[in-house]
Chains A and B, each alone.
Chain A
């Protein structure tokens, strides 16, 4: 698939889709969405990019091996459970901070969001690991 149109649009789409996936993840706590869906969206975007260019480009873009991304996600999810323990509570006890923006809106930031971000990364890592490897094997 060596189409110029696809390449140009994809370059643009990628950033948009990734942005959207982060948004999905962040709003998951209040509306449909969350780490899983966000991660899947981002994976889809990256896969599309791989179709348009090639797998090597995506791998380079990720910097880490996809499985390492998943590993990072696991670490984040794990770490998100720890702050609560500092206060003597059990693992995964949530801690929330209220971030008041200058314009008056309040944002709830908490460890569950970090956890969801971990999920997000794991899904991306897993998805990319599977899809990119399959793409490469087919190419050979």
Chain B
């Protein structure tokens, strides 16, 4: 099992022409999944127990259903890609990325540990980024890839926070344990955790108002769009919600959020699709709508709704995958995807036509395809919603009618009517190109006719795992005309009628809604743009102000920070004892201090950089003299040496720089003076406050006593230097050596040429 998840990622090194082989391998994986019976208990492997991270795999009904979709469609897509990008040098990379994605996606759908799911979740975002930007020479593809990554990535971070909160509230990341955790819904963290998780799921599954990245993602080649952005990845959010339903579902908030956003998305997506002309964008909007429907159904949360949800999930994966591949096949044949131009391709591409028809019929929800069952079930669910049922029914009707028209636009219209100009060159694609859509179309038909067999049991189990416990799902093609079923049938009739009307009115609709579409569908896109560019602009502005390139402003900031934080500290702990007992002062001490002060003044007033440095050097010398008086001449010698070399290096570096100029205004000078004075005052205060003799001073005594006895020397300072603290000296002489290298290099090594690395 684990191997099966990891294996695709290991396949990375794919040789040329390997598409079919890989497809077979994945098909084998599919068979393996199909033959493995589902079970409710997770398989757990420890990965990082100290982080509560376990690789736990939940191969229950939902997991198995999704795994079958991911691997089944995956194998067809690999085959399709082989035909679609035949001979393209980038094909191996595409396979590698697709397989890596597949591995990650399997992790998402099978994961039983929220943290593990999150890991795979982010991986799908990254692989999606790479895949959307597959045509990386085009700026539009790069921008779309970044946009998708940022939207899903930002959502992902919300999800991370939500997952952590759930872990804190429920005491575990294991879905099974969370579902059993008592009082999770009453926990104080429930609301923030839920909202954060929803943010993650909604961005990933392209719910309004985050849906805009999905149509943008159509920049990717068709196999990628068909796989990631219709059949699998975008379902991740839905799957996550389904997974969390047993643990978090059933509250007012859950119902309101999911139905609200899901319903809105359903309408925006499905109606929006009618305004598009590019086949792929049409399909993308319709996918957005379908994702909304799924979220809505999970939100309703009744048994009927969840049964409808999983049926819809399967039906949609089958027909939408097929329609995408058809659109790609058409594009491949006549090099256009414009719905207003395409017509009469049926004769030239009979197999594709057949596949398209089957998929479109399923999408329309026409008897006897699987789509019909799914649609009937969703109407039943809508009718049985605990609240707001009429509204939900009305919205569903509108959405399904739009879907009907959409399916006609994509799956029927291009193949009928007068042959278009380019259709003379049109030809059926290779085996690789038509096998996938045809197979999926046949599945839609077969599963419909056979009323879900052999998947009925699986769908039941899947609905059960979303609900939290098993219940019976009646999967019938013809459910009868009694009660809700009759109403649903009526609604289906209405759907067909309105859908046909919408299809007939598609041209006026497109022109009429031009302005509307822009406002409704692109507004979030504009917000994204504004946010993105605005934050970059603000960042640039801020950075120019903060990192302004002026050394003296840097210094001022540092000093002000020091003073500010010190004042803060004093404000918190004001009890400072200051003693002015400085003892006896000798004349030469005054002299030295005066020397230091004068040279500092000279340094400040000086017009030339060189004079300033020399003056500072003198000040340093004064400090050294103080050292010599208080501690010992040997230490002073070291100090002089270091001091001299530092000044020398300074001079040498300055030598390369332009002349000194007075850049600051008098206001700035006064300000700097003030800053310096405050700083000086603070330091003085500190010195006075620290000279307390509360504690004993064992160090100097120890040195004095042991110098001769153990250190074999009467010169205490020297013994300190070469024995007590010889390690310091070792460091200091290393500093000297480094400084000497610097001086030599600075004098000798002239900049030669501009070098690259």
Q: Which residues of A contact B711 (CB under 8 A)?
A: 94, 112
Task: Judge whether B737 and A126 touch: CB under 8 Å.
Answer: yes
Stretch at the interface among B155-163, B486-494, B633-641: B633-641
Residue-wise interface mask of A (81-120) relative to B, using a CB-CB cutoff of 8 A (1 in contact, 0 not): 1000000000110101000000000001010110110110
Task: Judge whether A116 and B648 touch: CB under 8 Å.
Answer: no
Chain A's closest residue to B649 (CB) is A130
Stretch at the interface among A5-13, A31-39, A52-60: A31-39
Choice from B723, B733, B747 contacting A73 with Cβ under 8 Å = B733
Q: Which residues of A contact B743 (CB under 8 A)?
A: 129-130, 133-134
Interface residues of A in 11-38 (CB under 8 A from B): 28-37
Residue-wise interface mask of B (640-653) relative to A, using a CB-CB cutoff of 8 A (1 in contact, 0 not): 01000100100000
Choice from B634, B733, B740, B748 contacting A34 with Cβ under 8 Å = B634
| Closest Cβ–Cβ distance, residue A13 to chain B (whole Å) | 21
| Closest Cβ–Cβ distance, residue B346 to chain A (whole Å) | 86
Known A-B contacts A92-B727, A96-B712; A130 and B634 likewise in contact (beta carbons under 8 Å): no
Stretch at the interface among B74-82, B543-551, B714-722: B714-722
Task: Judge whether A67 and B715 touch: CB under 8 Å.
Answer: no
Task: Judge whether A108 and B712 touch: CB under 8 Å.
Answer: yes
Task: Judge whether B634 and A28 touch: CB under 8 Å.
Answer: yes
Task: Judge whether B637 and A94 touch: CB under 8 Å.
Answer: no
Residue-wise interface mask of B (692-721) relative to A, using a CB-CB cutoff of 8 A (1 in contact, 0 not): 000000000000000000011111001101
- Give complex CA distance A133, B605 in Å: 32
- Give complex CA distance A137, B723 in Å: 39
Known A-B contacts A31-B714, A34-B721; A74 and B747 likewise in contact (beta carbons under 8 Å): no
- Give complex CA distance A94, B713 in Å: 12
Task: Judge whether B715 and A123 touch: CB under 8 Å.
Answer: no
Task: Judge whether A34 and B715 touch: CB under 8 Å.
Answer: yes
Chain B's closest residue to A36 (CB) is B637
Q: Which residues of A contact B633 (CB under 8 A)?
A: 32
Q: Is A50 close to B, CB under 8 A?
A: no
Task: Judge whether B718 and A70 touch: CB under 8 Å.
Answer: no
Choose among B648, B712, B747 the residue with the greatest number of A CB atoms under 10 Å from its CB: B712
Interface residues of B in 530-578 (CB under 8 A from A): none
Task: Judge whether A30 and B713 touch: CB under 8 Å.
Answer: yes
Choice from A37, A110, A118 contacting B712 with Cβ under 8 Å = A110
Q: Which residues of A contact B645 (CB under 8 A)?
A: 126, 130
Q: Is A42 close to B, CB under 8 A?
A: no
Q: Which residues of B contact A123 (CB under 8 A)?
A: 641, 733, 736
Q: Is A64 close to B, CB under 8 A?
A: no
Q: How many of chain A's residues touch chain B, expressed as a range? A: 35 or more
Residue-wise interface mask of B (714-757) relative to A, using a CB-CB cutoff of 8 A (1 in contact, 0 not): 11001101110011011001101101110110011000000000
Known A-B contacts A119-B722, A133-B747; A126 and B736 likewise in contact (beta carbons under 8 Å): yes
Q: Is A45 close to B, CB under 8 A?
A: no
Choose among A71, A77, A118, A130 the residue with the greatest number of B CB atoms under 10 Å from its CB: A130
- Give complex CA distance A118, B736 in Å: 13
Chain A's closest residue to B739 (CB) is A126
Task: Judge whether A130 and B740 touch: CB under 8 Å.
Answer: yes
Chain B's closest residue to A129 (CB) is B740
Task: Judge whether B737 and A116 touch: CB under 8 Å.
Answer: no
- Give complex CA distance A118, B715 in Å: 18
Task: Judge whether A67 and B722 touch: CB under 8 Å.
Answer: no
- Give complex CA distance A113, B726 in Å: 11
Known A-B contacts A71-B737, A108-B712; A40 and B641 likewise in contact (beta carbons under 8 Å): yes
Known A-B contacts A71-B737, A123-B641; A31 and B744 likewise in contact (beta carbons under 8 Å): no
Task: Judge whether B740 and A67 touch: CB under 8 Å.
Answer: yes
Choice from B641, B648, B733, B739 contacting A118 with Cβ under 8 Å = B733
Chain A's closest residue to B712 (CB) is A108
- Give complex CA distance A37, B718 in Å: 11
Q: Is A44 close to B, CB under 8 A?
A: no
Chain A's closest residue to B637 (CB) is A36
| Closest Cβ–Cβ distance, residue B590 to chain A (whole Å) | 25
Chain B's closest residue to A43 (CB) is B641
Known A-B contacts A122-B737, A126-B737, A133-B744; A115 and B719 likewise in contact (beta carbons under 8 Å): no
- Give complex CA distance A28, B707 in Å: 13
| Closest Cβ–Cβ distance, residue B749 to chain A (whole Å) | 11
Task: Judge whether A130 and B648 touch: CB under 8 Å.
Answer: yes
- Give complex CA distance A119, B731 in Å: 11
Task: Judge whether A78 and B730 touch: CB under 8 Å.
Answer: yes
Known A-B contacts A34-B715, A130-B743; A115 and B726 likewise in contact (beta carbons under 8 Å): yes
Q: Which residues of B contact A36 (CB under 8 A)?
A: 634, 637-638, 641, 721
| Closest Cβ–Cβ distance, residue B715 to chain A (whole Å) | 5
Task: Judge whether A70 and B740 touch: CB under 8 Å.
Answer: yes
| Closest Cβ–Cβ distance, residue A35 to chain B (whole Å) | 7
Choice from A31, A77, A134 contacting B747 with Cβ under 8 Å = A134
Task: Judge whether B722 and A35 touch: CB under 8 Å.
Answer: yes
Choice from A67, A74, A77 contacting B744 with Cβ under 8 Å = A67
- Give complex CA distance A24, B231 in Å: 87
Choice from B722, B736, B741 contacting A116 with Cβ under 8 Å = B722
Q: Which residues of A contact B727 (CB under 8 A)?
A: 91-92
Task: Judge whether A70 and B736 touch: CB under 8 Å.
Answer: yes
Known A-B contacts A28-B634, A70-B740, A133-B748; A77 and B715 likewise in contact (beta carbons under 8 Å): no
Q: Which residues of A contact B740 (CB under 8 A)?
A: 66-67, 70, 125-126, 129-130
Choice from B718, B733, B748 contacting A28 with Cβ under 8 Å = B718
Known: A34-B715, A130-B648. 10 other contacts (CB 8 A): A29-B712, A29-B719, A30-B713, A70-B740, A112-B711, A112-B712, A115-B723, A122-B737, A130-B740, A133-B747
* 6 A-B pairs in the complex with CB atoms less than 8 angstroms apart: A34-B637, A34-B715, A34-B722, A112-B722, A115-B726, A126-B740
- In the A-B complex, the 8 residue pairs with the smallest Cβ-Cβ separation, listed nearest first, are A29-B713, A126-B740, A30-B714, A122-B733, A112-B722, A129-B740, A36-B637, A126-B736
A residues with a Cβ closer than 8 A to B are: 28-37, 40, 66-67, 70-71, 73-74, 77-78, 81, 91-92, 94, 96, 108, 110, 112-113, 115-116, 118-119, 122-123, 125-126, 129-130, 133-134, 137
B residues with a Cβ closer than 8 A to A are: 633-634, 637-638, 641, 645, 648, 711-715, 718-719, 721-723, 726-727, 729-730, 733-734, 736-737, 739-741, 743-744, 747-748
